[in-house]
Chain A
Amino acid sequence: MHAGTSAAPTPQAAPSAAEKRGFYRALVLRRQLILAALTLALFLSLCVDLALGPARFGLDEVIAALVTPEAVSQQARVILWEIRMPVALMALVVGASLSVAGAQMQTILSNPLASPFTLGISAGASFGAALALAFGVAIVPAAVDYVIPINAFVMAMLTAFAIHALSMRRGVTIETIVLLGIAMVFIFNALMALIQFFASQQAVSAVVFWTMGSLTKATWPKLWIALGVLAVVLPLLARHGWALTAMRLGDAKAESLGVKPRALRLEVLVLVSLLAAIAVAFVGTIGFIGLVGPHIARLLLGEDQRFFLPGAALCGALILSVGSVLSKVLIPGTIIPIGIITSLVGIPFFLFLVLSHKKASW
């Protein structure tokens, strides 16, 4: 080697180090403020959701009932705490669960269209529920109240495990995993059609209503189960925050940084399948949250998982909570199934996002 050949580093019109750090600190602060704003919006939406119904309450009454339940009338307490609260909170928990599931599926599969629905997990759950509704089949013996959700949950998890098992085969790429999910959707759609063909008219109505998705199925015990799963899964995902962020740079780059993409992908797929399966099992098929929630979070907060993960949870929860409000006010006196609302609002909103912010959204 020959000495004395050094070239000067590329000259920079560089901001000072303090300015660069200032940029990053400002970025972090902005994201923290956005998360705080989403939390505030979520609380407001929850209050409005609680206030609306056949018996209307003012926001001040709702907040009073939340803060000091003994200060309001017994009737208000029963309506707000016993009847509306599980439904309103279920909207938050299910919204957060589906959105987080979609966010991480998109992350690990590098596909903006990955969600519990495109991977067939929701279709599997619908098939499980339909078996119970149409023919009274209980895949696992369970209490009457829980036959439908348990059937839905078991089928959703079986679908997820089938995808995992197939994805473990040699030569299966992440693109193939998405295609396997789409194949699952078609299989379960065909099986659903078969069930509806043989089932009674009444059973078909029940199946159709279930697949529309409805928060009115929520009860306190179901809420605790869904919340418990979310509370366990979120920290497990957060633990992999840096690795999951690195996955968005591609497998080769992530691997070069010490991440084990295949193992991480499988672990995360199991965790988010659990989230999605629980959510769908308790409230039925609620579309587009798993797709729209993560995309909004990505636009607002970028893809650093320290912000993206809580952001996706908050966005999903907020969308479903607002959806719950809309389901009560669009046709006075009628609660429209929430799945219809999220699809009606979600599809145009999603198109708007994709077309107006194409680059930033993925």
Chain B
Amino acid sequence: MVTLTLDQLSARYGRRRILAEITTPAFAGGQVVALLGPNAAGKSTLFRRILGLLDGEGEARISGATTERPVAYMPQDTGANAVLTVFESVLLARMQGRSLRVRAEDLSEVERALKDLGIAELGARDIGDLSGGQRQLVGAAQALVQAPEILLLDEPTSALDLHRQISLLSILRRLAREREMLVIAALHDLGHALRFTDQAMVLESGRLVACGPTEQVVTPELLRRVYRVDARIEPCSKGRPQLIVEAAV
């Protein structure tokens, strides 16, 4: 099973240090990990550093991977106006680094990714015609179609309506379990983090301030210190922890 361990991971943009010596225990395949932190905490930079898109000290150590490119990354949506259908845009994500010849297996994988995310009906649509939320789901399909062992998602629910947020996170958790895939998702909704993730790591100004099981990490103290909000966490009628935000500090 694949594992990812961050060891003293740092990153700089010019002279400005964005990440400072991030060290975590090994995250294993099958888990969903929430990457939390306020704006500009360094979450996207951490993803780019794990992918090797940025240089810096330290190491993101991947063990037990069985494929050549075990990591897939879904960046924050920036929109695109290419003359491509959704099906083609997902296919090209799968075909990177491969020959120009598309096999039946590649088409099946595209279909499966679209179906997994509940957007099979969008296949023939032009990507320029999609809403922000639909684009975000297509972005997730582009990452999933690469059959990753580690899936990094940068704010995958930011443009989705509530139904699709719950749906996407449920799907990702199910796929993580079924495929023994490690999913790390940057999330702003701590309620979602409590409900859908196993582990959480919290960044503040480029430093890791907490890491561990989500329920132990997301506490009123942390919310006050990092997010500067007064909040309570109480069990709901079904016994799940529920986040109740009272006021900004």
Q: A residues near B, CB below 8 A?
A: 1-2, 5-15, 17, 20-21, 23-24, 27, 238, 241-243, 245-246, 248-250, 252-253, 255-259, 298-299, 302-304, 306, 359-360, 362
Top 4 closest pairs, chain A to chain B, by CB: A10-B118, A248-B82, A256-B73, A9-B118
Q: How far is the CA of A253 from the CA of B77 in the complex (A)?
A: 8
Contact flags B146-162 to A (C-beta < 8 A → 1, else 0): 10000000000000000
Interface centre among B92, B167, B241 (most CB of A within 10 A): B92
Known contacts A9-B171, A298-B83, A302-B84: does B166 contact A252 (CB below 8 Å)?
no
Q: How far is the CA of A11 from the CA of B241 in the complex (A)?
A: 28
Contact flags B55-97 to A (C-beta < 8 A → 1, else 0): 0000000000000010011111011111111011101110111
Q: How far is the CA of A246 from the CA of B111 in the complex (A)?
A: 19
B214 touches A242 (CB 8 A): no
Contacts of A13 in B (CB 8 A): 121
B118 touches A246 (CB 8 A): no
Show 6 A/B contacts (Cβ-Cβ < 8 Å), sorted by A. Answer: A15-B123, A23-B123, A242-B98, A248-B82, A256-B72, A258-B97
Q: B residues near A, CB below 8 A?
A: 32, 51, 53, 69, 72-76, 78-85, 87-89, 91-93, 95-98, 100, 107-108, 111, 114-121, 123-124, 126, 128, 139, 142-143, 146, 163-164, 166-167, 170-171, 173-174, 194-198, 213-215, 239-241
B89 touches A15 (CB 8 A): no
A to B contact number (C-beta, < 8 Å): 142
Contacts of B91 in A (CB 8 A): 24
Name 16 extra pairs, CB < 8 A, besides A6-B173, A20-B114, A23-B87.
A1-B213, A2-B241, A5-B170, A8-B167, A9-B170, A10-B118, A11-B118, A14-B121, A15-B120, A20-B87, A20-B123, A242-B95, A245-B92, A256-B72, A302-B83, A360-B83
A21 touches B53 (CB 8 A): no
B88 touches A302 (CB 8 A): yes
A304 in complex: contacting residue of B84, B108, B239, CB < 8 Å: B84
Contacts of B84 in A (CB 8 A): 245, 248, 302-304
A17 touches B115 (CB 8 A): yes
B111 touches A17 (CB 8 A): yes
Contacts of B239 in A (CB 8 A): 2
* Nearest opposing residue in chain B for A2, CB measure: B240
B87 touches A257 (CB 8 A): no
Q: How far is the CA of A258 from the CA of B142 in the complex (A)?
A: 12
